[in-house]
Amino acid sequence: MEFDRESGILLHPTSLPGPYGIGEIGSQARQFVDSLERMGQRLWQILPHGPTSYGDSPYQSLSTFAGNHLLISFDDLVDEGLLNADRLRKFPEFPDHEVDYGPVIEARMEILRSVCRTFERKASDELKQAYHEYCRREAFWLEDYALFYALKDAHDLRPWTEWPRELGLRDPMALDEARRKHHTAIRNVKIQQFLFDRQWQALRNYAHQHHVKLIGDIPIFVAHDSADVWANPDLYYLDGTGQPIVIAGVPPDYFSATGQRWGNPLYRWDIHQHTGYDWWIRRMKKIFEMVDIVRIDHFRGFEAYWEIPAHEPTAMNGRWVDGPKGAIFDAMITAIGQLPIIAEDLGVITEGVEALRDHYHFPGMRILQFAFGNDAKAADYRPESYPTNCVVYTGTHDNDTTVGWFWSNAGENSTRTQEEIEAERQTILAYVQTDGSQIHWDMISLAAKSNAATAIYPLQDVLGLGSEARMNVPGVEGGNWRWRFRWEQLTDEIQQRLYDICEWSGRIY
């Protein structure tokens, strides 16, 4: 489908301000919706909102269906009578500019466990009835996820392939015994998922009341250590022990001589086709219950994907294998109807991928930071080349901030020389006719006045922040996904300036 001429902000909920160590989906999120409305923004884009594991990456979730319980608003729990405000007065103090994941998770889980322990006593009859209805409605994924999470917790968070064989390979008698043994832990997981869902739906309704739509995000592949793979092993290429036979990645390119070895198990598309793509339809139905538009990461994998033997240490010795192509989208459309999807089509894209994207009128992505280099595709990212049916970003969660990118120099791991970087910088200055002192506003303005129907700006760029506010550095294990902003950074002047830019570029109506 084609989108209206609008713009929005990219900000993951973990980056919201608040006193409890990490962003939440309660009052702080609603306050951000208020800010979006004041800035004339109709879209709020987030990263995948599922529960995270080792490395804290939202792109390696424990479940594609579950919500991240760490985002549950404590203040909203107090308002519903499920949490005593006195407990929060003793909550540890954490940095307000970043998420210190280890200690924050420990402190927040202590609060959530206490809420679960007293839920039956403190919850109203209406709330308890809503909880039981939620469990019945979501049983198709919730039962497996709750058991998976309880077992993972009981086994020191180790991957499911390292559990006792009968549990990892889902022996029915062993699972029945585990359900009895871990009954309380399973119940706690269900309560947390119910509370997350309840608060998320309240946030979405609030956003709609203020004319803001939510853009969600799903990676095409799921994590091997997830309830999705553990509960549905027949849908993936796994051996008799549950280990992947072949894994996902991308081949060597300009940025990496050995390619990228992601490690996600690959789908058995023949089995998915035989089931009418039932699992995928359920996945998409669920995400569209949570958001209004969905960005699919690595869209090109539906046309063809890079298959790497699991024993290979790099992505070099792989091969291209055909994906399901249009058959999967035909099945989705039959089951769901219209699909408001953004196709992440970055990197080396073939005519086949473009044809698949365009056949279903999915807008692709354009990144302004890619528009001024010396590679052959740079011209495709220049604003004058954009089709209407695309989404322009100043940068994404994987890019440096615009300020950090513009002023960067060749470092130890840089793939370019200092001369190439300086040449790119001079190209930008000449193209934009600027001195670079407010490069973030220059790039936001370029995106806003482009022909692209949708323009998205990371909040870091709106705030004019440098590399210290970068969300993720691909290929680096530690220190990612931590950045948070503070309300005093989002000044009235900044909000008015973004409103003005979007008004004169025809993105406010």
Asked if 238 and 59 touch (Cβ cutoff 8 Å), the reply is no
Q: How far apart are CA 362 and CA 228, in angstroms?
A: 26
Contact 39, 502 (CB under 8 A): yes
Residue 91 is predicted with a pLDDT of: 96
Specify whether 398 is catalytic: yes
Outline where 269-340 has alpha helix (H): 269-274, 278-290, 326-336
Cα–Cα distance for residue pair 45/295, rounded to 1 Å: 9
DSSP one-letter code for 252: -
Sorted by sequence, the CB contacts under 8 Å of residue 88 that are 6+ apart come out as 20, 74, 75, 78, 111
The domain locations on the chain are: 6-218+286-294+324-504
Residue of 292, 297, 307, 312 marked catalytic? 297
Structure tokens at 184: 């309380």
- CA dist 146 and 284 (Å) reads 20
Q: Which residues contact 486 (CB under 8 A, 6 or more apart)?
A: 17, 96, 97
- Beta partners for residue 244, in sequence order: 238
User: Residue 509's pLDDT is what?
Assistant: 77
Dihedral angle over CA of 157, 158, 160, 161, nearest 10? 180
Alpha-carbon span 420 to 415, nearest angstrom = 10
Distances (CA, A) of 191 to 66, 82, 130: 12, 12, 11
Side by side, the strands of the sheet bearing 43-45 are: 341-343, 293-297, 213-219, 43-45, 6-10, 454-458, 390-393, 364-367
- What is 6-218+286-294+324-504's CATH topology? TIM Barrel (3.20.20)
Active-site choice (37, 166, 358, 398)? 398
pLDDT of res. 348: 79
The single residue listed with the structure tokens 């604003």 is 383
Q: In whole angstroms, what is the distance from residue 239 CA to residue 230 CA? A: 13
pLDDT tens by residue, the chain, 509 residues = 789 999 999 999 999 999 999 999 999 999 999 999 999 999 999 999 999 988 899 999 999 999 999 999 999 999 999 999 999 999 999 999 999 999 999 999 999 999 999 999 999 999 999 999 999 999 999 999 999 999 999 999 999 999 999 999 999 999 999 999 999 999 999 999 999 999 999 999 999 999 999 999 999 999 999 999 999 999 999 999 999 999 999 998 766 788 889 999 999 999 999 999 999 999 999 999 999 999 999 999 999 999 999 999 999 999 999 999 999 999 999 999 999 999 999 887 899 999 999 999 999 999 999 999 877 677 778 899 999 999 999 999 999 999 999 999 877 566 678 888 999 999 999 999 999 999 999 999 999 999 999 999 999 999 999 999 999 998 787 899 999 999 999 999 999 999 999 999 999 97
Which one of 76, 138, 344, 442 is the catalytic residue?
Answer: 344
User: Looking at the DSSP assignment, which residues form a beta bridge with residue 294?
Assistant: 216, 341
Nearest partner of 369 among 461, 252, 480, 433, judged by Cα:
461
pLDDT at position 380? 79
SS3 308: strand
The answer to whether residues 341 and 296 touch, using CB atoms and an 8 Å cutoff, is yes
Query: In terms of pTM, does the model score above 0.95?
Result: yes
Is 100 among the residues known to form the active site?
Answer: no
Residues in the chain: 509
6 is catalytic: no
C-alpha distances in angstroms, 153 versus 243, 388, 495? 20, 48, 43
Phi, psi of 47 (to 5 degrees): -90, 175
Let me know: does 18 contact 54? Beta carbons within 8 Å: no
What do you get for the CA distance between the two ends of the chain, in Å? Answer: 20
**CA proximity to 380, closest of 394, 395, 365, 361:** 365
- What 3-state class would DSSP assign to 262? strand
- The 3-state secondary structure of 394-442 reads CCCCCCCCHHHHHCCCCCCCCCCCHHHHHHHHHHHHHHHCCCCCCHHHH
Asked if 292 and 213 touch (Cβ cutoff 8 Å), the reply is: yes
Single-letter code of the amino acid located at 250: V
